[in-house]
Amino acid sequence: MGIRTGAQYIEAVKSRQPEVWMSGRKITNVFEEPVFKRPILEMANLYDMQHDPKYQDQITHICEETGERVNNAFLVPRNYEDLQKRRAVFEVFARATFGLMGRTPDFLNVVVTSMYSNADFLDKYNPDWAVNIKNYYRYIRDNDLFLTHAIINPQNDRSKSSHEQNDMFTHLGAVKETPEGLVVRGAKMLATLAPITDEVIIYSFPGFKPGDERYALAFALPIDTPGLRMLCREPMQDGTRPLFDHPLASRFEEMDAVLVFDNVLVPWDRVFLYNNVEAANLLYPKTGIAQQPAHQSGVRGLIKLQFAAEVACRVADSIGVDVFLNVQDQLGELIQSVETIRALLRVAEHEFETLPSGEVMPGGVSLETIRGLMPTVYPRAIEVIQIIGAGGLLMSPTGADFAAPEIAGDMERYYLGREGISAEQRVKIFKLAWDLCGEAFGQRLLQYERYYTGDPIRKRAIFYNQFKRNNTFSLVDEALNLPDFVKDKTTV
Ligand SMILES: Cc1cc2nc3c(=O)[nH]c(=O)nc-3n(C[C@H](O)[C@H](O)[C@H](O)COP(=O)(O)OP(=O)(O)OC[C@H]3O[C@@H](n4cnc5c(N)ncnc54)[C@H](O)[C@@H]3O)c2cc1C
Ligand SMILES: Nc1c(O)cccc1C(=O)O
C-alpha cells in the first residue's frame, strides 16, 4: 500500500476498539472522544502531507524493495543526502505541530527502521528475532503504521530491580510460553499518544540485572490486542475549549498512558527479544535506536525551542518592552540557544558516523549534546516568556469577552498593545504564550523536554564516560610537555 492518507488513518482509528480508560471512564469511541478528536485530526494532517505535491518529494521516496512510495522515516540512510531526506520529514512534521508533538509517527518508525537495519545483532542471539523484526519493519512501512512505545517500568520502587519488586508482575514480564506465543503480564509506561495509534512496541532502556530474565523482552502488538489496557493520565483539556482561548492546548495535546498487559498473548512472530538480559541491555547501543531517533528529536526540539523564542519576542514586542536592555538580554539569550541547537544539528549531520553495514548515523556527540542542553534551554525559554509576559499572561480576556457588546469598548481600549498592535492581536499572542508557559499543557511540554530521552543526569554521566573512553585529553599532555624556550635560548 505505501503512504496512507489522513482519511485512511482515521478509518483505521475508527475500525478499532482498544481498551482505553480515562478519568474512571472506559472510552467506547476513541475518534468521537473530544479529548482525542483534534490530536487525531493533527495526525491525519501529517498523513495527508505525504500526498501534498508541496511536500511529497521532500518527505517520501520510492521503496527499492516494493516500488511503492513510503515515508522517509523508513529509509535506511547510507550517506549525507539520505540524512537530509530524513531530516526533511522530521522538519515538515515538526513545523506542522510547532515541535509540540514529540511522538509523531516518524519517531518510532525511525526506531524500527534502525532495529531492522541492525538485525544482525538480534540474529546472533536468535535468528527468529532477526527475521521477526525485519518482517515487522516491512509490515509497518508498507502499511504506513503509527506506533506508540513504552520502555520504562512503572515508578514503584526504583531502588530495586524488576525481579525484586514485591509483586512479580508489577513490571511487565513473561508469564509462560505457549505453542502460539508468549503470555505477558504487568505494566509499562509511558506510552505517549497510545489511544490513537495503530500498534505498540515494547522494549526497554538498559539496566536489567541477573534475575530479570523474564522482563528482558521486546515485542510489538496491535493497539487493540485483547487484554491490553491503557490507563490515561488526567487530560489537560476537555476537547471543547475554544481555539481562540487555547490555540495550542486545544490542538496538540499528546495523551500519555500506562499500559497494563493482563495475560496478553504475544504471537512468536512478534517477539524480537526474550529471556536474555545481555541482549536486552545491549539493544540500545548495538542497534542505533538511541542515535537515529535522536535526529528526529533534535530537529523537532529545535523547532519547539525556536517557537518558544519567537513567542517570547512577540510578547515583548506587542507591549513595547523590548526597548529595555534587560529584556533584550533575555531575548538575545534565547535566540543564541536556538542558534546553538541549530549549529549542533548541522555538525551532527555533517560529521556522520558510518557503521560497518554502510548505514550512517548523525554524529553521536553532537546529538547527545543537544539532548543534554535541551532540558536546560527549553525550561529557560519558558521562564523568559513568564518573566516578560508578567501579570498580563494571567489577565487575558476570553473570546467570549470580545464578543460581548457591553464590554467590547473595554476590550479595545484596555487590552490594546503598543502602537500598531490591536487588542485582539495582543490578546492572541498572550494566549499562545500562556498555553506554552502557564497551562498544564505547557508544563507537560516542559516535562517532556526534561525526560523524554530518559533521566538527563544519568544520560550526561553516560555521555561523559563514553567521551572519556574515546578521548585521551591529549591537550593536557601537550601542555605538560611544552619545550622550555627560555632554557633552549640560554643554551644557544
Ligand atoms: C511527557 C513525557 C512523555 C514521555 N513519553 C514516553 C513514551 O512515549 N514512551 C516511553 O517509553 N517513555 C516516555 N517517557 C518516559 C521517559 O522515558 C521517562 O520519563 C524517563 O526515562 C525518566 O524515567 P522516570 O520518569 O521513570 O523517572 P525515574 O527514573 O523514576 O527518576 C526519578 C528521579 O530519580 C532519580 N533516579 C532514579 N533512578 C536513579 C538511579 N538509578 N540513579 C540515580 N538517580 C536516579 C532521577 O534522576 C530522577 O530525578 C515520557 C516522559 C515524559 C515526561
Ligand atoms: N527517548 C527515546 C525513546 O523513547 C525511544 C528511543 C530512543 C529514545 C532516546 O531519546 O534515545
- Provide the whole-model pTM: 0.96
Q: Ligand 1 pocket: which residues have CB below 6 Å?
A: 103, 149-152, 155, 158, 190-192, 256, 444, 447-448, 451-452, 454-455, 457-458
CATH, range 6-287: 2.40.110.10
Extract the annotated binding site for FAD.
149-151, 155-158, 192, 455-458
The Cα–Cα gap between 421 and 78 comes to: 50
My answer on whether omega of the bond before 190 falls inside 30° of 0, hence cis, is yes
Overall average pLDDT of the 388-407 stretch:
96
Per residue in 32-70, pLDDT (tens digit) is 999 999 999 999 999 999 999 999 999 999 999 999 999
The Cα–Cα gap between 327 and 388 comes to: 7
The residue to mutate among 451, 452, 455, having the most atoms of ligand 2 within 8 angstroms of its beta carbon, is 452
Q: Which residue owns the Cα nearest ligand 1 atom 27?
A: 455
Domains 6-287 and 294-325+367-475 share a fold: no
Residue 437 Cβ < 6 Å to ligand 2: no
Q: Which residue owns the Cα nearest ligand 1 atom 30?
A: 155
Dihedral pair phi/psi, residue 176, rounded to 5°: -160, 160
> Which single residue is written with the C-alpha cell 495527508?
48
98-112, 185-199, 284-298, 478-492: least confident range = 478-492
Overall average pLDDT of the 102-108 stretch:
98
What pLDDT score does 490 carry? Answer: 64
Atom of ligand 1 nearest to the CA of 450: 53
Q: Collect all residues with Cβ–Cβ distance below 8 Å to 39 and sequence separation of at least 6.
A: 101, 193, 196, 251, 252, 253, 254, 255
**Ligand at shortest distance from the CA of 257:** 1
The Cα–Cα gap between 141 and 230 comes to: 25
How many Å lie between the centroid of ligand 2 and the Cα of residue 107?
9
**Residue 348: which of 382, 372, 321 has the closest Cα?**
372
- The angle at the Cα of 214, spanning 109 to 274, to the nearest 5 degrees, equals 45
CATH architecture of 294-325+367-475: Up-down Bundle (1.20)
Q: Which residue owns the Cα nearest ligand 2 atom 10?
A: 453
What pLDDT score does 386 carry? Answer: 98
Overall average pLDDT of the 271-288 stretch:
96
* pLDDT interval class at 224 (50, 70, 90): very high
The answer, yes or no, to whether residue 492 has pLDDT greater than 60, is no
HSE-up of residue 12 (Cα within 13 Å, Cβ side): 24
Residue 452 Cβ < 6 Å to ligand 2: yes
Q: What is the dihedral angle through the alpha carbons of 174, 267, 189, 279, rounded to the nearest 10 degrees? A: 60
How many Å lie between the centroid of ligand 1 and the Cα of residue 452?
7
The Cα–Cα gap between 255 and 195 comes to: 8
Domain positions in the chain are 6-287, 294-325+367-475
How many Å lie between the centroid of ligand 1 and the Cα of residue 167?
21
The Cα–Cα gap between 430 and 434 comes to: 6
How many Å lie between the centroid of ligand 1 and the Cα of residue 441?
18
Per residue in 287-340, pLDDT (tens digit) is 999 999 999 999 999 999 999 999 999 999 999 999 999 999 999 999 999 999
* pLDDT interval class at 485 (50, 70, 90): confident
**Ligand at shortest distance from the CA of 292:** 2
Residue 191 Cβ < 6 Å to ligand 2: no
Q: Collect all residues with Cβ–Cβ distance below 8 Å to 270 and sequence separation of at least 6.
A: 132, 136, 181, 219, 220, 221
* pLDDT interval class at 404 (50, 70, 90): very high
**Ligand at shortest distance from the CA of 147:** 1
Residue 147 Cβ < 6 Å to ligand 2: no
Residue 289 Cβ < 6 Å to ligand 2: yes
- The angle at the Cα of 76, spanning 74 to 81, to the nearest 5 degrees, equals 105
Q: Which residue owns the Cα nearest ligand 2 atom 2?
A: 453
**Residue 94: which of 255, 294, 298, 374 has the closest Cα?**
298
The answer, yes or no, to whether residue 491 has pLDDT greater than 90, is no
Strand-by-strand arrangement of the 217-222 sheet? 147-150, 199-202, 217-222, 271-274
The answer, yes or no, to whether residue 92 has pLDDT greater than 90, is yes
Overall average pLDDT of the 418-444 stretch:
97
